[in-house]
Amino acid sequence: MDINERRRFEETTLPHLDAAYNLARWLTQDDHAAEDVVQDASCRAAKYFHSFRGGNARPWFLSIVRRVAFDWLEQRRSKQTVTFADELHDRSEDALNPEYLAIRQCNAELVRQALDELAAPLREAIVLRELEMLSYHEIATVTDVALGTVMSRLSRARQQLQRRLASTAGTE
Amino acid sequence: MKMNCREIRQLLEPFADGELDLVRHMQLEEHLAGCTTCAGQLTNLQSLRSTIAAPSLYHVAPSALRERMTQSPALLAPKTEPRSAVRSPRSTAMMVASLLVVAGASFSTGILASRSGASADDQLIANVVTDHVRSIQVDHLMDVASTDRHTVKPWFQGKLDFAPQVPDLSEQDFVLSGGRLDVLADHVVAALVYHRRLHVINVLVRPSSEPDSREERILLRQGFHLRNWVQAGMSYWAVSDLNDEELDEFVTQFRRAVGPEKS
């Protein structure tokens, strides 16, 4: 990569560094891993920069970040036993009959905990939507799933969050 | 075709997320206006959403990481280009050149040429970025926190020897959140703080003797986008991590709102 392309790469990706780190951090739930993931993703992004067709760089860069993050999760999972896949498939009725309960005033720590307890794909969807303000379409691009899947993941994430927030707050 | 409550509930989330087509969006609005149960559901949903969208839940990239990303030799171009390259007219090094030539040529040209080391303008640009970073990190974003420009504008009175314009851009979805005093190159400047989503836009304002006709400068430093322009006797620096398109949109709206009149 020559100096001009390097500059162009920097100008394309650096503005999205916070977004990249935020997503990596929420997925890996680990400060150091998140930094590693972002750096790794940057190297990959630099390598495949020629395939970037211009336009909005954020979804493109984030899609690389989340792939690296899930690789990391996968690797760690082979060492420990993390069962987010199972959790993802239960309560599928949530998305069909959503009911929105009032949630209590809760501090950021409670919300953080509730988010951390979500299955990674649900957490990913809700972080991209509520903290990165991506549209359904952009989330679908980043996470490489159908629009309908994005919607049901968001819905399930919200159902589980409000349940956790309501119950956590209630047992105080 | 009228929708019943059950059908409405299915669409509440895409409605709240702004993802419905116009027709259905209006159908929902109409229904919500007359149905307190569904409206209550929407309120609950919205309060959940705003709870999750708390800025404190956003993990900002550590500055060490940002530094590594801009300095790692394996990953990046050399950080310090040879000085001789600054004024060389090589057009091939377009990106580099545009940054450096702008840095070298503008502002108060007379002083710059004779200075050794980093140019005063480079220093100024670095200060603008530092101001922005500090304002976010040290939690000194605002001295006066208000979304009302009629509060922010008078606040500066008596603290500055000029009166900065404080445009209201909330209709363009750039929300004024306050103002503060900052120091830029030994001068006290007004800093206006706007938000779009979770992104902060700092606008630093100070008097300038340069003409309005001076071309707008577009810079990128440490991953932050910068715009600098002169309007009605004021020099404006807008700094943000917002993407280029949205920052340009902001500058356009801001300039339009400030207008040509000298205040």
Residue B134 lies in a domain: yes
Q: Give dist(CA B250, CA B218) in Å, integer.
A: 13
Residue A81: Cβ within 10 Å count:
6
Q: Which residues are registered as beta bridge partners of B236?
A: B205, B229
pLDDT (tens digit, 0 to 9) for every residue of chain B, 263 residues total? Answer: 578 898 899 899 999 998 888 888 888 999 999 999 999 999 999 999 989 988 889 999 998 898 888 764 444 433 333 333 333 333 333 333 333 333 333 333 322 233 334 467 777 787 788 777 777 655 556 777 777 888 888 888 878 888 899 999 988 889 888 888 887 777 788 999 998 887 889 999 988 888 888 888 888 877 788 999 999 889 999 999 888 889 999 999 999 999 865 44
The letter for the amino acid at B63 is S
Best probe of the A interface among B36, B43, B59, by most A CBs < 10 A, is B59
Residue B21 lies in a domain: yes
Determine the straight-line distance between the first and last CA of chain A, rounded to whole angstroms. 56
pLDDT (tens digit, 0 to 9) for every residue of chain A, 172 residues total? Answer: 777 888 888 888 988 999 999 999 999 999 999 999 999 999 999 988 888 877 888 999 999 999 999 999 988 877 655 555 444 544 555 555 678 887 777 778 889 999 999 999 999 999 999 999 899 999 999 999 998 899 999 999 999 999 888 854 444 4
ipTM: 0.86
Residue B263 lies in a domain: no
- Same domain flag for B37 and B118: no
The torsion angles phi and psi of A7, rounded to 5 degrees, stand at: -60, -45
CATH of domain A83-172: 1.10.10.10
To the nearest whole Å, the CA of B108 is away from the closest chain A CA by 27
Any chain B CB within 8 A of the CB of A126? yes
B13 contacts in chain A (CB < 8 Å): 98, 151, 154-155, 158
- Same domain flag for B166 and B235: yes
Residue B154 lies in a domain: yes
Q: Which CATH number fits domain A1-81: 1.10.1740.10, 3.30.43.10, 1.10.10.10, 3.40.1260.10?
A: 1.10.1740.10
Are B95 and A154 within 8 A, CB to CB? Answer: no
- Same domain flag for B27 and B85: no
- Same domain flag for B68 and B45: no
Nearest to A25 among B59, B64, B94 (CB): B59
Are A22 and B220 within 8 A, CB to CB? Answer: no
Place of tokens 């993050």: A69
To the nearest whole Å, the CA of A76 is away from the closest chain B CA by 22
- In three-state form (DSSP H/G/I as H, E/B as E, the rest C), the secondary structure along B99-160 is HHHHHHHCCCHHHHHHCCCCCHHHHHHHHHHHHHHHHHHCCCCCCEECCCHHHHHHHCECCE
Determine the straight-line distance between the first and last CA of chain B, rounded to whole angstroms. 55
Report helix, strand or coil for B231.
Answer: strand
The torsion angles phi and psi of B46, rounded to 5 degrees, stand at: -65, -40
Tell which residue, B207, B227, B209, has the closest CA to residue B218.
Answer: B227
To the nearest whole Å, the CA of A128 is away from the closest chain B CA by 10
Q: Which residues are registered as beta bridge partners of B203?
A: B192, B238
Domain total in chain B: 2
* Beta carbons of B54 and A128 less than 8 angstroms apart: no
B58 contacts in chain A (CB < 8 Å): 18, 22, 131
Nearest to A22 among B10, B59, B75 (CB): B59
Place of tokens 């404080």: B166
Q: Give dist(CA B196, CA B201) in Å, integer.
A: 8
pLDDT at B155: 82
A126 contacts in chain B (CB < 8 Å): 52
* Beta carbons of A123 and A143 less than 8 angstroms apart: no
Tokens of B148: 């009302």
Interface of A with B in 50-109 (CB under 8 A): 56-58, 97-103, 106, 108
CATH of the domain at B188: 3.30.200.100
| Helix ranges restricted to H, chain B | 5-16, 22-34, 36-52, 63-71, 94-105, 109-114, 120-137, 149-155, 244-258
Tokens of A13: 């990706």
Tell which residue, A12, A134, A87, A90, has the closest CA to residue B69.
Answer: A12
Domain that holds residue B47: 5-53
